[in-house]
Amino acid sequence: MKNLEIAAIFYEMADILELQNVKWKPEAYRKAARQIETLSTPIEEVYEKGGIKALTEIPGVGEKLAKKIEEYIKTGKIKEHERLKGEIPKGLNELINLPGLGPKKALKLYKELSIDSIEKLEKAAREGKIAKIEGFGEKSEENILKTIELAKKKEERLLLGVALPIAEEIVNELKKAKGVRRIEIAGSLRRRKETVGDIDILAEIEGERSDIMDRFVSLHNVKEVIAKGPKKSMILIGEGEYQIQVDLRIIERESFGAALQYFTGNKDHNIELRKIAIQKGWKLNEYGIFDKQGRMVAGENEEEVYKKLGMEWMPPELRENQGEIKAAIENKLPNLVELSDIKGDLHMHTDWSDGINSIEEMINAAINMGYEYICISDHSKSQRIANGMDEERMLKQIEIIKEMKRKYKGKITVLQGCEVDIKPDGSLDFEDEILKKLDIVSVSVHSRFKSSKEEMTKRIARALENKYVKILNHPTGRLINEREPYEVDLEYLMQICRDRKIAMEINSSPSRLDLNDIYARKAKEMGVKLVIDTDSHSVDHLRYIQYGVWVARRGWCEKEDILNTQSIEKLKKSLNLKI
DNA sequence: GCCGTTTTCGGCCCGACTGTTTTCAGTCG
Ligand SMILES: Nc1nc2c(ncn2[C@H]2C[C@H](O)[C@@H](COP(=O)(O)OP(=O)(O)OP(=O)(O)O)O2)c(=O)[nH]1
Ligand SMILES: [Mg+2]
Ligand SMILES: [Mg+2]
Ligand SMILES: [Zn+2]
């Protein structure tokens, strides 16, 4: 899949063009790159199937950029890119990636002091050379040194599951400030994106002087105050890999809706809305919609802002500039699946393999979740490190769960499952003799992630041929920030799943979220049915189902697309279960 | 470089904070 490679090249070209003070092109390159990054199809396939014309159907990609994409697919590089790289000192890119340093300052540093790397920058700053340059000063020099220190610590986006509790804690602290009427998490966190670059918080403040900004910058564990103003402040908070930037924006009641809209984003969604406002002869910013005379048209709540712009309000999960604005205008927004729609969880482990709780503890926890059914799905024998079950133990568990089914009858339906390994040759870890005794067979790849795309596709496709298979678990195998997805022809697998009525999993484990939002949407479009499962390894994990629901929502999924929103009777039909 | 029920040319979102500045450019959200 060349999507990310091409996006990276376009980003780099944008940076170089910006250094050369070229107007508009940089944003055009970046906008195209952002769209290419979020494509659900390998861009080389888009090209093979539809040529240049298909490429230009990607928003932000026109004739010129399409030609460049074609060139990259055919030759592995883009001449224009190579040419641009040659025109600019190599290390300047890493300079503009430092927060606070942009193209103008970086270029100045290069021209005055021949600085083209972070090492040289640090040296010059220590020697006091920076402060002497026109346009820089003591403060700039200090800030550069600070920024370099902070950048040395590794910088990764935080998992939603990690950032959300941190954000909630901060919100609770800020609630204690004077004059706070309302406080909301915004940004990518409110859109429930799988990872977040920072935590964005919006507070509605009543009255003139609130102490919220003072409280904010002196929160426990604040490592750096990046900016502090009357309307917006930014801090770095937390330790090591959990260190994260927090942006706080405050606003008055009459503008709260517009501000929430602005601060929720995403950026491209905002820009599209602002263009619509312009078309209507208005101006949209974080204070509201205003007409030519500066009179406020809307602002107090989000619904009103969207309504005046000619569309329905939409859930934050959809606001990614992926067609939601058009859908909202045409009244075609999906009716997104909700947490309360979920009737059961079909993937969880117990102390029979690598879970920490007993079968019965999991059952009781599921009853507490209000579920109608669950499926116990411990590992099969190949998963030695996970204490996978061999045939003998599998048969034993079947006996135990039979008892449980009886014991909990009327309270919850307990299904007998197993997370069966797909072996490297595509065969399953158990013979049909065992599989046919299970209520639900789900299958997973847990080994040889580095196979070629062809091998992996063949391997999984073969597994899906087994007539007992009902669910394909975590179909891309990624671990966010840790392991890339394996190479596989997902579209092909989706066709098989659709035709054979096999469900694909949205694994809710916060570090998996697999399928992800983009593929969930593609699955829906292809008519593949999905299940949202937690893959719990303890009773505490069952609540992560919320994260999977968020992925589904970001993938435009409705209740009908998710099989475990169905009653057990309907589920049996949908998956053709023999129970 | 992209894009179009007001345009195939001429626009391209709009505002906060900082630092070094005598009135604003640069960077970021
Ligand atoms: N209109 C407009 N809004 C912006 C711009 N940049 C950011 N925003 C808005 C939309 C963003 O969702 C919101 C918060 O900015 P962030 O940089 O934190 O982005 P976001 O939270 O979406 O993603 P992140 O996970 O933090 O990288 O501010 C911009 O250039 N123009
Ligand atoms: Mg953010
Ligand atoms: Mg932010
Ligand atoms: Zn599992």
Please write the tens of the pLDDT for every residue from A182-229: 999 999 999 999 999 999 999 999 987 899 999 999 999 999 999 999
Q: How far does residue A192's CA lie from ligand 4's centre (Å)? A: 23
Comparing every residue's Cα with the C1' atom of nucleotide B18, the nearest one is A227
Give strand letter and number of the nucleotide nearest A26 (CA to C1'): B1
What is the structure's pLDDT at A535? Answer: 98
Q: Which ligand is nearest to the CA of A234?
A: 3
What are the C-alpha distances in Å from A176 to residues A173, A300, A416?
6, 23, 49
Integer Cα distance of A225 and A216 in angstroms: 10
Whose CA is closest to A205, among A236, A168, A180, A176?
A: A180
Tell me which DSSP letter residue A373 carries.
E
Integer Cα distance of A320 and A267 in angstroms: 8
Integer Cα distance of A369 and A544 in angstroms: 11
Integer Cα distance of A269 and A272 in angstroms: 5
Mean pLDDT over residues A521-533, rounded? 98
Q: Give all strands of the β-sheet with A244-251 in edge-to-edge order.
A: A180-186, A198-205, A244-251, A232-237, A222-228
Q: How far does residue A231's CA lie from ligand 3's centre (Å)? A: 14
Tell me which DSSP letter residue A442 carries.
E
Helix (H) or strand (E) holding A204: strand A198-205
Whose CA is closest to A417, among A505, A511, A292, A498?
A: A505
Query: Which residues of A in 137-166 have their CB below 7 Å from strand B's atoms?
Result: 137-141, 143
CATH topology of domain A158-250: Beta Polymerase; domain 2 (3.30.460)
Q: How far does residue A282's CA lie from ligand 3's centre (Å)? A: 26
Tell me which DSSP letter residue A251 carries.
E
Integer Cα distance of A415 and A468 in angstroms: 15
Query: Which residues of A in 393-432 have their CB below 7 Å from strand B's atoms?
Result: none
Amino acid occupying residue A110: Y
CB of A28 lies under 7 Å from some atom of strand B: yes
Give percent helix, percent strand, percent coil of chain A, each to the nearest 5.
Answer: 45, 15, 35
**R_g over Cα of chain A:** 27
CATH topology of domain A3-151: DNA polymerase; domain 1 (1.10.150)
Give strand letter and number of the nucleotide nearest A106 (CA to C1'): B26
Q: Which ligand is nearest to the CA of A264?
A: 1
Our answer on whether the CB atom of A263 is closer than 6 Å to any ligand 1 atom is yes
Our answer on whether the CB atom of A267 is closer than 6 Å to any ligand 1 atom is yes
Give counts: helices (H), strands (E), chain A: 24, 17
Chain B bases under 7 Å from protein CB? 1-3, 6, 11-21, 25-29
Mean pLDDT over residues A514-522, rounded? 98
Our answer on whether the CB atom of A261 is closer than 6 Å to any ligand 1 atom is no
A122, two tokens: 């640090």
Mean pLDDT over residues A76-95, rounded? 94
Whose CA is closest to A486, among A532, A451, A518?
A: A451
Distance of CA A455 to the CA centre of its chain: 28
Our answer on whether the CB atom of A198 is closer than 6 Å to any ligand 1 atom is yes
**What is the pLDDT confidence band of residue A7, given thresholds at 50, 70 and 90?**
very high
CB of A63 lies under 7 Å from some atom of strand B: yes
pLDDT in tens, A433-486: 999 999 999 999 999 999 999 999 999 999 999 999 999 999 999 999 999 999
Integer Cα distance of A474 and A368 in angstroms: 26
Backbone φ, ψ for residue A375 (5° rounding): -125, 125
Mean pLDDT of chain A, nearest integer: 97
Mean pLDDT over residues A141-167, rounded? 92
Whose CA is closest to A469, among A478, A479, A460?
A: A460
Q: Computed from CA positions of residues A86, A91, A96, A102, in that sequence, does the dihedral angle turn out positive or negative?
A: negative
Query: Which residues of A in 92-121 have their CB below 7 Å from strand B's atoms?
Result: 96, 98-106
Mean pLDDT over residues A21-31, rounded? 96
Complex ipTM > 0.90? yes
Hey, is A416 helix, strand or coil?
strand
What is the structure's pLDDT at A579? Answer: 83
What is the structure's pLDDT at A170? Answer: 98
Residue A278 near residue A287 (C-beta atoms within 8 A): no
Mean pLDDT over residues A228-257, rounded? 96
Which residue's alpha carbon is nearest to atom 4 within ligand 1? A267
Domain boundaries, chain A: 3-151, 158-250, 270-329, 339-574
pLDDT exceeds 80 at position A304: yes
pLDDT in tens, A332-386: 999 999 999 999 999 999 999 999 999 999 999 999 999 999 999 999 999 999 9
Pairing verdict, β A158-159 and A296-298: unpaired
Give strand letter and number of the nucleotide nearest A270 (CA to C1'): B13
Helix (H) or strand (E) holding A421: strand A413-421
What are the C-alpha distances in Å from A302 to residues A73, A312, A327?
43, 10, 17
Our answer on whether the CB atom of A266 is closer than 6 Å to any ligand 1 atom is yes
Q: How far does residue A186's CA lie from ligand 1's centre (Å)? A: 9
Residue A442 near residue A473 (C-beta atoms within 8 A): yes
Residue A33 near residue A65 (C-beta atoms within 8 A): no
Backbone φ, ψ for residue A463 (5° rounding): -60, -40
Mean pLDDT over residues A162-176, rounded? 98
Start-to-end CA distance of chain A, whole Å, equals 41
Distance of CA A275 to the CA centre of its chain: 26
Integer Cα distance of A409 and A403 in angstroms: 10
DSSP A146-196: HHHHHHHS---PEEHHHHHHHHHHHHHHHTTSTTEEEEEEEHHHHTT-SEE
CB of A65 lies under 7 Å from some atom of strand B: yes
Q: How far does residue A180's CA lie from ligand 2's centre (Å)? A: 21
pLDDT exceeds 80 at position A501: yes
Q: How far does residue A198's CA lie from ligand 3's centre (Å)? A: 5
CB of A230 lies under 7 Å from some atom of strand B: yes
Integer Cα distance of A189 and A200 in angstroms: 7
Whose CA is closest to A196, among A550, A558, A530, A557?
A: A550
Backbone φ, ψ for residue A338 (5° rounding): -125, 160
CB of A32 lies under 7 Å from some atom of strand B: yes
Q: Which CATH architecture has domain A270-329?
A: 2-Layer Sandwich (3.30)
**What is the pLDDT confidence band of residue A154, given thresholds at 50, 70 and 90?**
low
Our answer on whether the CB atom of A265 is closer than 6 Å to any ligand 1 atom is yes
Q: Is CATH 3.20.20.140 what the domain over A339-574 is classified as, yes or no?
A: yes
What is the structure's pLDDT at A357? Answer: 98
